[in-house]
Amino acid sequence: MKRELIFPAIYKHFKHDESGTLNNYMYVAIGVAEVVDEFDARKYKGIKELGFFYETETSHRVRVLYNDENKLFIPMKNWTIGNGKYVVYKSLYDGMDYVRPYEMFISEIDKEKYPSIKQKYRFELIKN
């Protein structure tokens, strides 16, 4: 069964520590952004800027747009990693805004790299 992202919802990263700082490694998934060409984004009505988000794998700041239907876009088609879909999310512990490749966000944890981690997925749903 293919895992699907639920949003808006709260997720915890596998590095979350119950005994640590309140909400450490806890995030709100805002939605899924489609990567499009800058000019393609202009064809959608009511395009507005959501803001700049930190891309976790390249450390780039990327612009996220949305339209009247609350569809999210990243206008940087030549730059994308993976299949061109990104999860847009916000940290609950420091207020930072992030984007991460969709497949990476929903992926299982590498048990060879992190053998002591009990959590199955990189990010697990806490509350929606």
The model's pLDDT over 58-104, given as tens digits with 9 standing for 90+, comes to: 888 989 999 988 899 988 766 666 568 999 999 999 889 999 999 99
Rounded to two decimals, what is the model's pTM? Answer: 0.88
Q: How far is CA 28 from the centre of its chain?
A: 9
pLDDT digits (tens, 9 = 90+) for 6-20: 999 999 999 888 777
For the chain, the structural domain boundaries read 9-127
**pLDDT at residue number 104:** 93
What does the radius of gyration of the chain's CA atoms come to, in whole angstroms? Answer: 15
H-assigned helices in the chain: 38-41, 102-105
